[in-house]
Amino acid sequence: MIDGVIFDKDGTLFDFRRSWGAWANGFLRGLAPDPAQAAHLGHVIGYDLSTGNFAPTSPVIADTAAGIAAALAPHLPGHSVAAITQRINAAAALAPMAEAVPLIPLLSGMRAKGLRIGLATNDSEVPARAHLAAHGITELFDFIAGYDSGHGPKPGPGMCLAFARHTGIEPARIAMVGDSAHDLHAGRAAGMVCIGVLTGIATEADLRPHADVVLADIGALPAWLSSLP
The answer to whether residues 216 and 197 touch, using CB atoms and an 8 Å cutoff, is yes
Amino acid identity at 8? D
Domain enclosing residue 106, as ranges? 4-15+97-226
User: What's the pLDDT tens digit per position in 93-108?
Assistant: 888 899 999 999 999 9
Kindly give, in sequence order, each residue whose CB lies less than 8 Å from that of residue 2, ignoring residues fewer than 6 positions away.
Answer: 115, 173, 174, 175, 193, 225, 228
Residues facing residue 53 across a β-bridge: 48
Residue 13 has what pLDDT?
98
Same domain assignment for residues 80 and 166? no
87 pLDDT tier (thresholds 50, 70, 90): very high
Q: Which among 203, 157, 156 has a CA at the least distance from the CA of 179?
A: 203
The answer to whether residues 144 and 150 touch, using CB atoms and an 8 Å cutoff, is no
Helix axes 16-31, 35-44, angle to 10 degrees: 130
Q: Which of 35, 70, 93 is the last residue of a domain?
A: 93
Same domain assignment for residues 157 and 146? yes
Same domain assignment for residues 169 and 149? yes
**Residue 62 above 90 pLDDT?**
no
Same domain assignment for residues 83 and 174? no
Same domain assignment for residues 51 and 104? no
**149 phi, psi to nearest 5 deg:** -90, 0
Same domain assignment for residues 119 and 181? yes
Report the distance separating Cα 25 and Cα 180, nearest Å.
22
22 pLDDT tier (thresholds 50, 70, 90): confident
Whole-structure pTM value: 0.88
Same domain assignment for residues 110 and 183? yes
Residue 21 has what pLDDT?
87
Same domain assignment for residues 44 and 74? yes
Same domain assignment for residues 104 and 213? yes
Percent of the chain surpassing pLDDT 70: 100
Residue 99 has what pLDDT?
97
Strand spans (E) along 94-179: 116-120, 143-145, 174-178
Give the total number of structural domains in the chain: 2
Q: Which of 93, 120, 136 is the last residue of a domain?
A: 93
Q: Which of 47, 70, 93 is the last residue of a domain?
A: 93
Question: What mean pLDDT comes out for the span 215-221?
Answer: 98
**Residue 156 above 90 pLDDT?**
yes
User: What's the pLDDT tens digit per position in 105-139?
Assistant: 999 999 999 999 999 999 999 999 999 999 999 99
205 pLDDT tier (thresholds 50, 70, 90): very high
